[in-house]
Amino acid sequence: MNAIKLKLLPLYLLSLLLLFSCSSDDDGPDPGPVAINNPDQDIDEFIWRGMNFWYLYKGSVNDLANDRFANDQELFQFLQQFDSPEATYDALKSTRTITVNNQVFNEDPFSFIIPDYVVWENSQQGVVTSNGMSAGFIVVPNTNNVLGYVRYVVPGSDSDTKGVTRGMYFDAIDGIKLTTATDLSASFFSPNAYTIDIVTFDGATVTGTGQTISLTKAEITENPILSSKTIDYQGEKIGYMMYNAFRDPFDGDLNDAFGQFKNDGITDLILDLRYNRGGSVRSTTVLASLITGQFTGEIFNKRNYNPEVQAIFQDQAPQVLTDIFTNVTLEGNNTPLNTLGLTRVYVLTSRLSASASELILNGLDPYIDVIQIGETTSGKYQGSITIYDTDNFSRTGPNLNPDHRYAIQPLVVKSSNANDVTDYAAGFLADVSFSEINRLFAGQDIGVIGEVDEPHLKTALDLITMGTTATTDSNKVGITDHELYWDPESELPGYQHMYYDLENSPFSRTTTKE
């Protein structure tokens, strides 16, 4: 789950914030001037203050304790040892581990720092610099060679106009063959332009085609609804939606799509979250409410902050600690939702399904049947907020520092459903197994998104209409040693996040939702 975009903080919260921050006026005697040589001191101090107040795992980091430094001078001496804001931030994150289902996980693998908050803010509005190709990478069996494969292409993007399609493979970028030693960040993620060499792959052998495609990144607006349609299948009307990110500005489009489902009289819904890494909890609440509609006012999600912040909210604004099912949109105009009143939903997942996508699974589970088809999900139950260098850490707060554009996105809250289920670091295990990666290694086609013969979708369609699914090679082939589970998009600021927005909380106006 990732982020609360902080807009306002009440005076009592600001007062406590100042209390927890270092103050040489109130702490012990000044030990005398000590030379501080830290060109990033303002940024580093902002990072420490933000983490000291908000960080979910503050108790796991000794250097974030309220009494760790006797005065500002000691704090500044501590901070000058780091050679960059990124190093400072990394040093203040928890390194503890937790054990779930006999598996060991880092307590915080998800907090990140934002070098340019303008770029980050644009990404949350769906505005990104991209060539429009979403790609994954696999290792060719019995070799060190790597193949990129296309998951999907954003309509109208450069990749779309250049003829890139789902299921294509490429084995070289700018003519350089990909191997397990390739720095994919430098070759694939960072450049604004590159070429890819198209090949075919039958599960064992890579064959060149001689085709090279040149791709250039540009600023595009990506609607997270990649596909939405009503499918007539075996006499049933079934709604299908591939939804790739939870983004508030597109909640109107989401509501319109469900209005079409409602007009079409669908009896079942397939929600495709296989590539959805998360996003706005507000949008997640809207989507859960659209699927149902019969639980308005009931708890969809509970929020659990660090003890200090939790106590403040519990005392002053307990409504902030829950997200409830709604019957109106929560972004702007409170438009009535086109709710479906379903008592079950089929959700397609993969290992990329994370955060707010998992919140859908967990939050709906106490109320309706959630049938998960695909792979075990990522296992991210925490949310974050965007913290800015202002007096109260909000984007519009007093004294925004004009000298830099750093912001931080730390985990500040963990999510639980109405039955208090949380801490699912091992992810959610699918009810019906399906692996797109396995199909690739079986030499099988992965199909066209939204078409009835697309294998992942067809598995759900058959389950709905026949109560069973055909056994395929995609569910049998073991490829653990061959999957390169690295994604260049993991270096994007919004990767695997669930974020919260306090703009519509009781701090800014009288609502019960965010």
Q: Are residues 136 and 190 in the same domain?
A: yes
Q: Are residues 192 and 238 in the same domain?
A: no
DSSP assignment, residue 248?
G
Residues counted in the chain: 514
**Around 17, how many Cα atoms within 13 Å sit in the side-chain half-sphere?**
18
Residue 510's pLDDT band (boundaries 50, 70, 90)?
very low
Q: How far apart are CA 302 and CA 237, in angstroms?
A: 34
Q: Are residues 173 and 106 in the same domain?
A: no
Mean pLDDT of 22-46: 69
- Provide the pLDDT for residue 124: 75
**Which of 100, 82, 96 lies closest to 40, judged by CA?**
82
Burial of 501 (0-12, 13-18, 19+ CB in 10 A): buried
> What is the pairing mode between strands 97-100 and 369-374?
unpaired
Quote the Cα angle for 491-481-353, to 5°: 45
Residue 30's pLDDT band (boundaries 50, 70, 90)?
low
Q: Which of 186, 221, 256 is the last residue of a domain?
A: 221
- State what percent of residues in the chain have pLDDT above 70: 84
DSSP assignment, residue 218?
E
The packing angle between helices 356-364 and 281-291, to 10°, is 40
Q: How far apart are CA 121 and CA 228, in angstroms?
A: 26
**Which of 318, 420, 447, 400 lies closest to 118, judged by CA?**
400
Q: Is 93 within a domain?
A: yes
Q: Are residues 247 and 294 in the same domain?
A: yes
Q: Are residues 184 and 236 in the same domain?
A: no
Question: Which is more confident, 105 or 501?
Answer: 105
pLDDT per residue as tens digits for the range 248-261? 899 999 999 999 99
Mean pLDDT of 271-275: 97
Category of 135 on φ-ψ map: left (φ > 0), alpha (ψ -120 to 50) or beta: beta
Q: Are residues 95 and 152 in the same domain?
A: no
Three-state DSSP at 212 gives strand
Three-state DSSP at 489 gives helix
The packing angle between helices 72-79 and 41-54, to 10°, is 110
Residue 470's pLDDT band (boundaries 50, 70, 90)?
low
Q: Are residues 194 and 237 in the same domain?
A: no
Mean pLDDT of 208-217: 97
Q: Is 291 within a domain?
A: yes
Least confident range of 40-54, 178-192, 289-303, 465-479: 465-479
Question: Across the chain, how many H-helices and E-strands are there?
Answer: 13, 24
Q: Is 271 within a domain?
A: yes
Check pLDDT > 80 for residue 16.
no
pLDDT per residue as tens digits for the range 378-388? 999 998 889 99
pLDDT per residue as tens digits for the range 412-460? 999 999 999 999 999 999 999 999 988 998 889 999 999 999 999 999 9
Report the sign of the C-alpha dihedral through residues 206, 211, 217, 220, in that order: negative
Q: Are residues 310 and 351 in the same domain?
A: yes
Q: Is 52 within a domain?
A: yes
Q: Is 493 within a domain?
A: no
Cα 429 to the center of its chain, rounded Å = 19
Instruction: Determine contact, residues 242/346, Cβ cutoff 8 Å.
Output: no
Mean pLDDT, the chain, whole residue set:
86
Q: How far apart are CA 351 and CA 354, in angstroms?
A: 8
- Provide the pLDDT for residue 37: 86
- Provide the pLDDT for residue 41: 94
Q: Are residues 175 and 236 in the same domain?
A: no
- Provide the pLDDT for residue 1: 43
pLDDT per residue as tens digits for the range 341-374? 999 999 999 999 999 999 999 999 999 999 999 9
Between the CA of residue 403 and those of 235, 386, 390, what are the distances in Å? 62, 18, 12
pLDDT per residue as tens digits for the range 215-236? 999 999 999 999 999 999 999 9
Give 373's contacts (C-beta < 8 A, 6+ positions apart).
Answer: 346, 347, 348, 349, 430, 431, 432, 434, 456, 459, 460, 463
DSSP assignment, residue 142?
T
pLDDT per residue as tens digits for the range 71-109? 999 999 999 999 999 999 999 999 999 998 888 989 998
Check pLDDT > 50 for residue 499.
no
Q: How far apart are CA 325 and CA 281, in angstroms?
A: 12
Q: How far apart are CA 374 and CA 429, in angstroms?
A: 9
Residue 122's pLDDT band (boundaries 50, 70, 90)?
confident
Instruction: Determine contact, residues 120/135, Cβ cutoff 8 Å.
Output: no
What is the DSSP track for 1-69?
-B--B-----HHHHHHHHHHS--TTTSS----------TTHHHHHHHHHHHHHH-TTGGG-GGGSTTS-
- Provide the pLDDT for residue 405: 97
Q: Between the ranges 4-8, 121-125, 324-328, where is the mean pLDDT highest?
A: 324-328
Q: How far apart are CA 180 and CA 484, in angstroms?
A: 8
Q: How far apart are CA 448 and CA 426, in angstroms?
A: 30
Q: Which residues pair with 348 in a beta bridge?
A: 272, 373
Category of 297 on φ-ψ map: left (φ > 0), alpha (ψ -120 to 50) or beta: left
Q: Which domain holds residue 45?
A: 11-116
Mean pLDDT of 1-18: 39
Q: How far apart are CA 260 and CA 258, in angstroms?
A: 5
pLDDT per residue as tens digits for the range 149-195? 999 999 999 999 999 999 999 999 999 999 988 888 788 888 999 99
Q: Which of 176, 196, 221 is the last residue of a domain?
A: 221
Q: Is 241 within a domain?
A: yes
Check pLDDT > 90 for residue 474.
no
- Provide the pLDDT for residue 500: 41
Mean pLDDT of 481-497: 42
What is the DSSP track for 261-324?
HHHHT-SEEEEE-TT---EEHHHHHHHHHHH--S-TTSEEEEEEE-HHHHHHHHHH-GGGGEEE
Burial of 186 (0-12, 13-18, 19+ CB in 10 A): exposed
Q: Which of 158, 192, 221 is the last residue of a domain?
A: 221
Q: Are residues 290 and 206 in the same domain?
A: no
Q: Are residues 362 and 306 in the same domain?
A: yes
Q: Which two tokens stand for residue 259?
A: 């209005």
Q: Is 74 within a domain?
A: yes
Q: Is 388 within a domain?
A: no
Q: How far apart are CA 479 and CA 40, in angstroms?
A: 46
Check pLDDT > 50 for residue 501.
no
What total number of domains does the chain contain? 3
Token pair 């397939």 in the structure block, residue: 270
Q: Are residues 422 and 310 in the same domain?
A: yes
Q: How far apart are CA 153 and CA 159, in angstroms?
A: 7
465-497 burial, b at 16+ Cβ within 10 Å, e below that, comes to: eeeebeebebbebebeebbbeebbbeebbbbbb
- Provide the pLDDT for residue 40: 95
